[in-house]
Structures are given as structure tokens and as C-alpha cells.
Homo-oligomer: A and B are copies of this chain.
Amino acid sequence: MNRKLRMGMVGGGKDAFIGAVHRIAANMDGLVELVCGAFSINPEIAQESGKALFIPENRIYLTYEEMMEKERLLPEDERMDFVTIVTPNFVHYAPAKLALESGFHVVIEKPMTFTLEEAKELKAIVERTGKLLCLTHTYSGYPMVKQAKAMIKDGVIGKVRKIVVEYPQGWLSRLSEREGNAQAAWRTDPKKSGKSGSMGDIGTHAAHLAEYVTGLQISELCADLSTLVEGRMLDDDGNVLLRFDNGARGVLIASQISAGEENALRIRVYGEKGGIDWAQEDPNNLILKLLDQPRQYIRTGNGYQAPYTLSSFATHNTRIPSGHPEGLLEAFGNIYRNFALTVSAKLNGETPTPEMLDFPQVDEGVRGMAFIDNVVASSEGAEKWTKFVV
């Protein structure tokens, strides 16, 4: 393609958080430009946000419906190519549906929808329209996560037996939703966030990471969701026993009241021949623990020689040489970059490479919503094991 892709944004006004992260991720590689947006339901904030982002006035919209309608009518060489949706969970489905049906690809924050039902419908729409839906499970964008996935697929650690994935945070250790914290307010409100707090917000990331890295699927689970801060409307801590479709055992922990933790997502996978260990707060180290050998610290961006050569999926998602830390924004940028490369390839009539296609899509979004449903059902039930159904 010989031009940047044009992005529109739903949500992400100047009072929001995640919208700014999406914009950095989209900007980074010079493949995407932000051309329009419906940044807020508050018209003043929408206007101010658009101006601060150098959007021409006529493309600062007050509703996403207006945006879809007007953009659809612009000439092809001007109108946006895709829409990024960064509103709270309960406003994911409607704009995504409208965007797809208006002919736009969609990038959407996780969890994909408010309910599993919506997720399944969205999947049907995606299939019907042939448009792409990209789900920003950010952590799968890290090069060392992709290296882990590649190594497990190649059998480096043998058949997987045990998975421990944990996502402790401490930011909801107080009842911040009553102290003017807007992020806390909507994320702990079942009308905006969904039926689980800890699982919707971060448990889905952990579950996705476990399935992405191992290529396995959760088949059964046993969950204990709790609300440990008095007065909160949703669970803020969850612990889940897992069983996977190959017989592997697992544990998933998602907590927002692990006081003092920041964003300590970590995954360990153990197989017959060794284990891997990756922690999001130290993302450029992938620890490989093989039986009978010293531990290996596999680090982003190295030109290791065979048999240690990094996977093409890792190197494709790395921008700078080893020893120059890449962080969350680059992982996020990888999702946008792969999505953009895929869209461009399609526009050019080319076939995207497997590396380009390696970003989370609608199927992962459906499984994420099913995960929430199954965990909540298990936690509320008296039976030990709940079959994972979609």
C-alpha cells in the first residue's frame, strides 16, 4: 500500500485513559493516521479532544452514529478505513456492529462485549460482512510471549502438564469508586462493566494469554470469586482451578486487591521437558527452564545463532536491538501494526503472512466472554467442576 491507513475513534476523549494508549500504539510505526473521532458523549469534551488531536472540525463527531454515517459518504480516498472502539464495555457492541455493517474494520478493547450473547452476534456480523475485528489483548503482542508460543508449539518443553497464570493488581484495594476515581467507578459497576469485575477486566487477559501461549483450551474450571472490599458492587478477586483439553492442570488468579501490586501478569507453563516463565513487568526476559540444563534467559532482539535463533514471530514484532527495552506500548503497537499490515495487504490484494495475521480476533473475543460466564457460573454453584461452554 502506498498510504497510511485512516483511523476513526469512538471514545478516548481527553478525560479517558485507554484512548491515549491506543493512539500512541497506532501512531508509532507511521502506518496509521487518526482522521476523525466521536471522542465523547459530552460535546464539549468531544470538541476539545478533537482539536487537541489536530482533527479538522468537520470530522469531530458528536456521536458514533453520526461518524459512521458521514464517513461512509466521504470519497474512498478520504474516508476512514477502520474504527477503534475504546468506550466502557457496555458500549462496545452497538458501535462495533454499526461500524462493521457500514463497511469499516474494527479495533476493539477487551472484553469484546458486555455479554456473551452480544459476542456471538458480533462474530456472526464479522463473518457476514467479511470485515476484520481486532481485539486488543495487548499482552499477546510482546515478542517474548510470541517466542514462548513458538517454542511450545515446536515442542521445546514437551507436552504441557501445568499452567499457572496470575494477574494481581492492587489498585482497587480501597473503595476508590466512591472517591471520584472515574476508572474505578465504571469498572466496578455491573451495569457498565459486566457480570464480573476481576474477570472482565483482567481475568480475560490471563485466560487469553494461557490459551494463546499454549495453543490449548480451557475445558473445565472451578472458581472462587470474592468481593473483598466492603461496599463494592462487583467481585475484585478471583481464583480459578483449570483443566485444559489435553489434560493439563492449571491455576488462574486475577485480583484487584493485591495491595501493592501494579500490573503483575505472569505466566508459567510446565511440560514434560521443561518450563517457561514470563512476567509482564519484565517483558524482555523469557526464562526457559529445561531439565538437566542451566536456565536460559532469552531476551528480546538478540541475533542468537541456531539452535537458539528467535522465532520469526518474535523478530517480526521487535523494533530495536537487544538491550534496548521495549515495553507495553510497543506490544500494543504490534497489534495495531499487524492489523494494519493485514488490512493493507488485503487492500492491495496480497495475502497477509502468518506473522501479520497474528493478532487477536473475534473468536478470541467470544471465548473471553464465555470465560467470564463460566467463571461466574462456577463461583455461584456448589459443584466442583464446571464444563467450559461457549
Contacts and interface: CB of A to CB of B under 8 A. Distances in A.
Nearest to A32: B27
Interface in A171-209: 173-174
B260 A270 contact: yes
A109 interface: no
A224 B253 contact: no
Contacts of A162: 228, 237, 255, 257-258
A261 interface: yes
B28 A237 contact: no
Contacts of A262: 299, 302, 321-324
A241 interface: yes
A260 B239 contact: no
Interface residues of A, number: 93
Given A292-B305, A299-B295, A224 B239 contact: no
Contacts of A51: 2
Contact of A258 (B275, B293, B302): B275
Tallying the copies of this chain within the complex gives: 4
A325 interface: yes
Given A169-B323, A296-B296, A326-B328, A161 B272 contact: no
Contacts of A274: 259-260
Contacts of A328: 320, 324-326
Contacts of A158: 259
Interface in A194-244: 222, 224, 226, 228, 237, 239, 241, 243
Contacts of A260: 270, 274-275, 288-291, 295
B226 A224 contact: no
Interface string A45-59: 000000101100000
Interface in A265-315: 268, 270-275, 280-284, 288-299, 302-305, 308
A305 B293 CA distance: 7
A160 B272 CA distance: 37
Contacts of A271: 259
Contacts of A250: 239
A127 interface: no
Interface of A: 2-4, 17, 20-21, 23-24, 27-30, 34, 51, 53-54, 157-158, 161-162, 164, 166, 168-170, 173-174, 222, 224, 226, 228, 237, 239, 241, 243, 249-251, 253, 255, 257-264, 268, 270-275, 280-284, 288-299, 302-305, 308, 319-330, 381-384
28 contacts: A2-B54, A24-B30, A162-B255, A164-B166, A164-B168, A164-B253, A173-B270, A173-B273, A226-B249, A241-B241, A251-B251, A257-B270, A259-B271, A260-B270, A260-B288, A262-B321, A262-B324, A263-B321, A280-B323, A281-B284, A281-B325, A283-B325, A294-B302, A297-B297, A326-B327, A327-B329, A382-B383, A384-B384
